[in-house]
A = this chain, B = another copy of it.
């Protein structure tokens, strides 16, 4: 049955079915919402319920939790990664660029209940997630760090991966405590990088 008279999907070899696409969107929205309130380890059943789908649907779209988490946050992570070089150019100094970029990351993380915790998990199931964040963000951070070090603004004995982890850690629990300002503490951390004059 090759009649191409049906509403042809937008160009592409195997376009996702409309309902599937809709569902995936619904799913991601539901997951994102639940992640905010219950953390990224929210029960699959709850996510499914919130999305109004069966649990199987989640597993079809995202076989592992890591994949779901990545999908939920991909856009924001990508945006963050891409912002790095631009900030380097538009900022007065590399150290300032670093601070701004880190703030972007903090703004992202602060609302991701439990994400930072899961990034520390030694559970094998989260390796993919771990790797994704590392792959995308550490190089960017490294670039900024190197620029600042090259400019003599900061110490050069801190690894990007370590700094990122520190920043990540400082964001843990920042969403459910108005007395805790992760951004301010991260500011301290970044300030601490400065080479002592």
| Minimum CB–CB distance for A9 against chain B, Å | 17
In the bound complex, residues from chain B placing their C-beta under 8 Å from that of A196 are 191
What is the count of identical protomers in the complex? 4
Which B residue's beta carbon lies closest to that of A161?
A: B179
Cα distance, A163 to B169, chains bound together (Å):
13
**A122 touching B188, Cβ below 8 Å:** no
**A169 touching B162, Cβ below 8 Å:** no
Cα distance, A185 to B185, chains bound together (Å):
12
Cβ contact of A170, chosen from B159, B166, B173, B180, cutoff 8 A:
B166
Which B residue's beta carbon lies closest to that of A165?
A: B180
**A185 touching B180, Cβ below 8 Å:** no
Interface size on A, residues (CB 8 A): 35
- Asked whether A33 is an interface residue with its Cβ less than 8 Å from the other chain, the reply is no
Residues 175-197 of chain A: 1 if any B CB is under 8 Å from the residue's CB, otherwise 0?
01101110011011111111011
In the bound complex, residues from chain B placing their C-beta under 8 Å from that of A120 are 172-173, 176-177
In the bound complex, residues from chain B placing their C-beta under 8 Å from that of A180 are 162, 165
In the bound complex, residues from chain B placing their C-beta under 8 Å from that of A117 are 117, 172-173
**B176 touching A122, Cβ below 8 Å:** yes
Given A117-B117, A162-B181, the answer on whether A193 and B188 have CB atoms closer than 8 Å is yes
In the bound complex, residues from chain B placing their C-beta under 8 Å from that of A53 are none
Cβ contact of A158, chosen from B166, B184, B197, cutoff 8 A:
B184
Q: List 18 A-B contacts (CB under 8 A).
A: A1-B16, A116-B172, A117-B172, A122-B173, A158-B184, A161-B179, A162-B181, A165-B180, A166-B170, A166-B185, A169-B170, A169-B172, A169-B173, A187-B192, A188-B189, A189-B189, A191-B191, A192-B193
